[in-house]
Amino acid sequence: MKCSRGVYLLVGIFWMMGAGCESFESNPPEETRTEYSMFVKDKMDKLRYAHVRLIMQVQQEGLDTKHQTILNETLDDLTQRREAVKRQIETMKMAKGSDWFAIQFVMNHDLEELAQSYDQAFVQIPG
């Protein structure tokens, strides 16, 4: 069962409020922000590479119109979702305290779901 990003955001916020940790009250340490930023950059680079590979494979396969249409729609969807994650990254750069942790929680889910979607898109290519 899939949940929307909003559900994950709310769960993350409630979890942090219930944790009672003072560390969530303050900004995350710069080291944490930097490490997570590097993790996200690496993940986005891999997704960008997967996107390019998918486009190249679709072009090389000489697919029939039906499969071409389906894969083009899939590529459009994946592009929109990648752009949404990029907007989350920009929002996260300005976030402080518990907001940063809540965005991190949602972004982890979105990055994983996006990676799985790319894997599924490769499976859709016949041959």
**pLDDT tens-digit series, residues 80-123:** 999 999 999 999 999 999 999 999 999 999 999 999 999 999 88
Q: Is-contact 36 121, C-beta < 8 A?
A: no
* pLDDT of the residue at 92: 92
Q: What pTM did the predictor assign?
A: 0.73
Instruction: Confirm if 114 and 78 have CB atoms less than 8 A apart.
Output: yes
> 30-124: which CATH topology?
1.20.5
Residue 19 pLDDT greater than 50, yes or no: no
The per-residue pLDDT of the chain, averaged, comes to: 82
Closest CA to 92 of 83, 80, 104: 104
Distance, in Å, from the CA atom of 36 to the CA atom of 67, rounded to the nearest integer, reads 37
